[in-house]
Amino acid sequence: MRRNSKTRENRTSRRSQTKSKGNIDRYGISSGKHKNQIMSKNHYREKLIGADAKIAFDNKNFKGKIIDETKNTISLKTPDNKIKKFIKKNIKIKLKNSIIDGKYITRRIEDRIKK
């Protein structure tokens, strides 16, 4: 067991606390203390079908138009007319002026609009 582990529970060894809490995650989308400024809660209640979006998934970005949305998936039509399906909890969606984390919209559209 590490010495002084009770007082240093949030620290990684040989790394300062500021380095371990970065503002940009691995997809290049802001996170941390600036996350609430970017992610608008109004978009959680809107329908996403028909919106032009950029989806970050597994260190890759996909651009296109959202054509279908279910409880757990989003279908995106890319500019080369291919249809890609993504699981919502694994993606981040960038719209014109906001970023939505997919894990917050894993509900049916009808239920999300009501709440």
Can you list the positions of beta strands (E) in 4-113? 52-57, 60-69, 73-77, 83-87, 92-94, 99-101
Q: Which structural domain range is residue 110 located in?
A: 17-114
Say how many domains are in the chain.
1
What's the pTM? 0.59
CA–CA distance, 89 with 98 (Å, rounded to integer): 17
Which CATH number fits the domain that encloses residue 103?
2.30.30.210
Among candidate residues 95, 88, 90, the one with its CA nearest the CA of residue 38? 95
* Amino acid at site 39: M
Mean pLDDT over each residue of the chain, to the nearest integer: 74
In a domain, 32, yes or no: yes
Short-list 54, 39, 49, 66, CA closest to 110: 49
Pairwise CA distance, residues 33 & 88, whole Å: 23
Q: What would the pLDDT profile of 2-46 be if each residue is shown by its tens digit?
A: 555 555 555 556 655 555 444 445 444 555 555 544 454 555 666
